[in-house]
Amino acid sequence: MRLTGNLTGVILGDMEFFTAWPVIRKILIGIAAALVVATVIWFLRPTSPGTSVVVATRNLKTGDRLSPAATTHVTVPPNAAPADALTRDQLPDVWDGPAITQGTIITESLVSGSVLGRELSRDHAQISVVLERIHLPDIAPGDFVDVWAIPENCDDPSCSAFLLAGKVRIVSMKDGDASQWDTAQPIQVDLVVNSQDQGTILGHARTGTLGLTLRSTDTRPPSIDN
C-alpha cells in the first residue's frame, strides 16, 4: 500500500509540472528575450569620446616596409591627438621617417620632417627646443620663424629681446613632457637653423628666454615672460 501511495504522489507531481509548464515556458522565453535585448544594447552603446589615430605596432626605422600589421588604430583623448596625425590611407608604402618606437602616433611631421632633415646641407642643422604653448604664436610645421631671446637675468618686464636667428624653418611640433614645476604645457619644436646659429639657440634652451615670431606676418620681438 505504501508503494502504491508513493507512485500516486509521483504521478500527481508530474501532472502538476506538465500543467505549469506553459507558464514556466513563458517565463524562460521572457528571460531569454531580455538577455538578447540587453546584449544588443551593450553592443550598440555609444563609444567613449576620443579621436582615432594610427600608431606603430612595432619599432620602425627608415626603409622598413609598412605592412598592414605594422600599424593599428587607437582611440585617444581629443587633446592628445596631434593635429597632423595621418590616416592609414595617407601612409607611405615604406617608412621614410626617423626611427620611432612601438606606440608612436604616425604624423605628417614625422614623415615630412625626416625628409627635410636628410636633405640638409652642411651649413644647416636640425635642433629641438622646448617652449611653453602659451608663448607661441599660431605656427605649424613648414612655417618660417625668427628666434628671439631676452637677457637671462633680467627681472624688468621692459627688457628688450634680441634676435638670435632669422628665417628658421619649423620641421615638427609635439607636446613635451610636463613636470610638476611646469605652469604651462611644454611644446617640443624641431627647427632647421644655420649651423653657425645652432650653439647660440641651444645655449638659451630651457632657460625660459626663447621666443618665436612668425616671419611672414610679424617681425617684432615676442613678449617673453620670466
**Which pLDDT band, with edges at 50, 70 and 90, does 218 fall under?**
very low
**Residue 194 predicted with pLDDT over 70:** yes
pLDDT at 122 over 80: no
| Confidence class for position 226, pLDDT limits 50, 70, 90 | very low
pLDDT digits (tens, 9 = 90+) for 78-110: 767 777 788 888 887 777 777 788 888 888 777
Give per-residue pLDDT as tens, 135-146: 788 888 888 899
pTM metric for this prediction: 0.45
Lowest average pLDDT, out of 18-32, 51-65, 108-122, 190-204, goes to 108-122
Mean pLDDT of 218-224: 48
119 pLDDT higher than 60: no
Report how far apart, in Å, the C-alpha atoms of 183 and of each of 89, 131, 155, 178 are.
Answer: 38, 12, 18, 9
Per-residue pLDDT at 189 exceeds 60: yes
Exposure string of 102-138, with b = 16+ CB inside 10 Å and e = fewer, is eebbbbbbbbbbbebbeeeeeebbbbebebbeebbee
Instruction: Specify the pLDDT at position 112.
Output: 61
**Three-state secondary structure string covering the chain:** CHHHHHHHHHHHHHHHHHHHHHHHHHHHHHHHHHHHHHHHHHHHCCCCCCEEEEEECCCECCCCECCHHHEEEEEECHHHCCCCECCHHHCCCECCCCCECCCCECEHHHHHHHHHHHCCCCCEEEEEEEEEHHHCCCCCCCCEEEEEECCCCCCCCCCCCEEEEEEEEEEEEEECCCCCCCCCCEEEEEEEEEHHHHHHHHHCCCCCCEEEEECCCCCCCCCCCC
What share of the chain has pLDDT > 90, as a percent?
A: 1
Fold of 49-107: Type Iii Antifreeze Protein Isoform Hplc 12 (3.90.1210)
Phi first, then psi: what are they for 74, rounded to 5°?
A: -135, 140
Domain residue spans in the chain?
Answer: 1-45, 49-107, 120-226
Residue 156 banded pLDDT, cuts 50, 70, 90: low
